């Protein structure tokens, strides 16, 4: 069994197929880099992060997809995946803020349960035009990549997010009820 | 293989019957689940029914004996006696006993493999749904561990329900659903925790490696081995010497001047 956090956290499986990491991506909220699999509050992720791609080749372009596969709730993900942000034509050495924002950043705001918020990075073979889908719900990263011939992802990471005053996904306070 | 180490799970084993316990251990896989049936094959391989069937055959007799013993010895109740169930498959037979057992006394996690093939049984519906539902999360989520860990929890909550539950389908369905959701949620929670732990471990290992590398580099440069370092200190040395020489030259020029003046130039 793989020990890769993406596999253990079922990101590979629910959202992506197994892939080999070939790029280095850092997601930075409020000057703090996010550790894969950590938990962030909605207040922290209210504004878009700085997404840095390591490298010096300005001829390379990347597409970033940010989705919530556990919408509206992880036990009932009928809106899987909910598209939160879509940026294309990002170059190495720059950040996603300099790319072409096809779908504007939406702050993750889970109401039920603990959601995974996934960032997926694809390498564009050419500088292509990518169109925004008609709606954010039921986005499918796999199909999207196939449609635009993006190939397998080159990097991915995720963090967990729950309601601001959430209590770890429990409906009742743990003290009196199991 | 059959684990020989004592299954010291906090999960189960309220069985006082040592015989059963031994047999249970023998029949359970190395996974944390120590279910008292042939679910071992199921949890080891992910839901391949052929392997389940094959692996179950040799143990069936043992399990039946076990269940029979338990049923007769420990269950002094309304449950249908094992002999009453005839003309059905072995699966069904075992299932009957199992579910009866479960219906009256929650002692161990139900068999997951057993339930895979009998959706309709004329048994207490809650017990039925309890076992038949177990196959649900196995397919999609593929986490062999989560049954055992989650089952004692959900079983203990359900214990009360089963004891009072009337044979009402709606209610049993609800219980069933609740239990399934709970199980999945527990599995997700475990996955979350494990994923984060793995990530931290990876990071720690990575940083330790970097650290070692940098330390090594530092050591080498400290001895003046690296060229750039050497150059830098040489420059410093040379410039110091130059300064000193310049000062000397100044003094010499002045003294020369003085002497020349003396000579009348």
SS (H, E, C) chain B: CCCCCCCCCCCCCCCCCHHHHHHHHHHCCCCCCCCCCCHHHHHHCCCCHHHHHHHHHHHHHHHHHHHHHHHHHHCCCCCCCHHHCCCCCHHHHHHHHHHHHHHHCCCCCCCHHHHCCCCCCCCCHHHHHHHHCCHHHHHHHCCCCHHHHHHHHHHHHHHHHHHHCCCCHHHHHHHHHHHHHHHHHHHHHHHHHHHHHHHHHHHHHHHHHHHHHHHHHHHHHHCCCCHHHHHHHHHHHHHHHHHHHHHHHHHHHHHHHHHHHHCCC
Q: What is the mean pLDDT of residues B208-224?
A: 87
Residue B223: the pLDDT is: 65
Determine whether the interchain pair B200/A35 forms a contact, defined as Cβ–Cβ distance below 8 Å.
yes
Determine whether the interchain pair A5/B181 forms a contact, defined as Cβ–Cβ distance below 8 Å.
no
pLDDT band at B15 (very low <50, low <70, confident <90, very high): very low
**Would you tell me which residues 134-163 of chain A have a C-beta closer than 8 angstroms to some C-beta of chain B?**
160
Distance in angstroms (rounded) separating the CA atoms of residues A174 and B252: 90
Determine whether the interchain pair B192/A75 forms a contact, defined as Cβ–Cβ distance below 8 Å.
no
Q: Which residue of B has its CA nearest to A170?
A: B185
Which of B31-35, B78-82, B200-204, B220-224 holds the top average pLDDT? B200-204
The rounded average pLDDT for each run of 10 residues, N- to C-terminus, in chain A (178 residues) is: 88 94 93 94 94 88 94 91 94 83 94 93 90 94 94 95 81 55
Determine whether the interchain pair A38/B196 forms a contact, defined as Cβ–Cβ distance below 8 Å.
yes
The answer, for B195 touching chain A at a CB cutoff of 8 Å, is yes
The chain-wide mean pLDDT, for chain B, equals 60
Is the pLDDT assigned to residue B9 strictly greater than 50? Answer: no
Determine whether the interchain pair B195/A8 forms a contact, defined as Cβ–Cβ distance below 8 Å.
yes
The model's pTM is: 0.55
Task: Pick the more confident residue, B133 or A102.
Answer: A102
Which of B196, B203, B210 would you mutate first to test chain A, the one with the most A CBs within 10 A?
Answer: B196
The DSSP letter of residue A73 is B
pLDDT band at B220 (very low <50, low <70, confident <90, very high): confident
Chain B residues whose CB is inside 8 A of the A178 CB are 153, 157
Determine whether the interchain pair B196/A37 forms a contact, defined as Cβ–Cβ distance below 8 Å.
yes
Closest to B117 (Cα-Cα) out of B88, B87, B155: B88
Is the pLDDT assigned to residue B140 strictly greater than 80? Answer: no
Task: Measure Cα distances from A71 to A102, A109, A139 in Å.
Answer: 21, 10, 11
Which of A159-168, B146-155, B186-195 holds the top average pLDDT? B186-195
Residue B222: the pLDDT is: 73
């Amino acid at each position: 069994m793989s020990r890769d956090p993406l596999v253990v956290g079922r990101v590979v499986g629910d959202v992506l197929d197994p892939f080999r990491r070939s790029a280095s991506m850092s997601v930075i909220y409020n000057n703090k880099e996010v550790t894969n699999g950590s938990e962030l509050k909605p207040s922290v992720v209210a504004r878009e992060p700085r997404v840095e791609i390591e490298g010096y080749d300005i001829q390379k372009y990347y597409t970033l997809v940010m989705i919530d596969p556990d919408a509206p709730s992880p036990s009932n993900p009928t809106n899987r995946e909910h598209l939160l942000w879509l940026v294309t034509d990002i170059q190495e050495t720059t950040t996603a803020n300099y790319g072409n924002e096809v779908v504007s950043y939406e702050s993750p705001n889970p109401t039920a349960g603990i959601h995974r918020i996934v960032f997926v990075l694809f390498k564009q073979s050419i500088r292509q035009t990518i169109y925004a889908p008609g709606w954010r719900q039921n986005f499918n990263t796999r199909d999207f990549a196939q449609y635009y011939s993006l190939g397998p992802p080159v990097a991915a990471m995720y963090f967990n997010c729950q309601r601001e005053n959430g209590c770890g996904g429990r409906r009742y306070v743990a003290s009196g009820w199991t | 293989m059959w684990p020989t180490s004592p299954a010291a799970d906090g999960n189960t084993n309220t069985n006082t019957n040592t015989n059963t316990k031994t047999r249970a251990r023998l029949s359970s896989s190395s996974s944390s689940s120590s279910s008292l049936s042939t679910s071992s094959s199921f949890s080891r391989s992910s839901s391949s029914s052929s392997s389940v069937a094959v692996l179950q055959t040799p143990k069936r007799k043992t399990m039946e004996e076990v269940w029979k013993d338990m049923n007769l010895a420990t269950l002094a109740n309304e449950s249908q006696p094992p002999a009453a169930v005839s003309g059905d498959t072995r699966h069904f037979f075992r299932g009957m006993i199992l579910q009866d057992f479960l219906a009256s006394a929650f002692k161990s996690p139900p068999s997951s493999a057993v339930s895979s093939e009998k959706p309709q049984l004329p048994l207490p519906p809650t017990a039925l749904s309890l076992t038949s539902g177990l196959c649900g999360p196995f397919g999609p989520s593929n986490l062999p561990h989560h049954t055992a860990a989650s089952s004692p929890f959900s079983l203990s909550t359900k214990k009360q329900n089963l004891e009072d539950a009337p044979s009402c389908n709606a209610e049993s369905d609800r219980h069933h659903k609740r239990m399934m959701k709970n199980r999945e949620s527990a599995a997700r929670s475990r996955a979350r925790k494990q994923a984060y732990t793995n990530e931290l471990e990876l990071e720690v290992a990575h940083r330790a490696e970097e650290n070692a590398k940098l330390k090594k580099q530092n050591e080498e440069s400290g001895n003046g081995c690296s060229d750039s370092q050497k150059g830098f200190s040489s420059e410093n040395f040379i410039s110091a010497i130059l300064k000193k020489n310049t000062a000397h030259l100044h003094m010499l020029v002045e003294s020369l001047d003085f002497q020349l003046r003396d000579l009348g130039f």
